[in-house]
Amino acid sequence: EAGVAQSPRYKIIEKRQSVAFWCNPISGHATLYWYQQILGQGPKLLIQFQNNGVVDDSQLPKDRFSAERLKGVDSTLKIQPAKLEDSAVYLCASSLARHEAFFGQGTRLTVV
């Protein structure tokens, strides 16, 4: 079974630029998560989708971050414009309902 796929693995951008991350979850997983993990901290949930609907985006900085999940499968997370404090690893995960979540390898973003 293929795991959660994320791209790119690494991205370096200048502040005020925009960036997008892509995630393809495990086939059949209705729930998809985007987490932000700042160095030395635990993952922080940014947004959670159930199929193609948003069920939790309370911790998403909506003035600069946006996310969508097309047809209940792939998802993209965008930052526009980026700030220095957005430097982090962005993790995508998927799960079946209340089961464990499976994670992709993450995208390491550096904002300079």
Partner 1 sequence: AQKITQTQPGMFVQEKEAVTLDCTYDTSDPSYGLFWYKQPSSGEMIFLIYQGSYDQQNATEGRYSLNFQKARKSANLVISASQLGDSAMYFCAMRDATYGNNRLAFGKGNQVVVIP
Q: How far is the CB of 78 from partner 1 (least distance, A)?
A: 22
Check residue 97 for interaction with partner 1 (CB under 8 A).
Answer: yes
Q: Is 9 exposed, middle or buried (0-12, 13-18, 19+ CB in 10 A)?
A: exposed
| Residues 21/6, Cβ–Cβ less than 8 Å | yes
Q: Which stretch binds partner 1 (CB under 8 A): 16-24, 65-73, 75-83, 86-94?
A: 86-94
Check residue 105 for interaction with partner 1 (CB under 8 A).
Answer: yes
3-state secondary structure of 84: helix
Q: Which stretch binds partner 1 (CB under 8 A): 21-29, 66-74, 77-85, 104-112?
A: 104-112
Q: How far is the CB of 83 from partner 1 (least distance, A)?
A: 22
Check residue 55 for interaction with partner 1 (CB under 8 A).
Answer: yes
- Per the listing, tokens 């086939």 go with 27
Whether the CA torsion 19, 78, 99, 44 is positive or negative: it is positive
- Return the number of other C-beta atoms located less than 10 Å from residue 60's C-beta: 19
Residues that bind partner 1 (CB under 8 A): 31, 33, 35, 41-45, 48, 50, 55-56, 58, 89, 91, 93, 95, 97-103, 105-106, 108
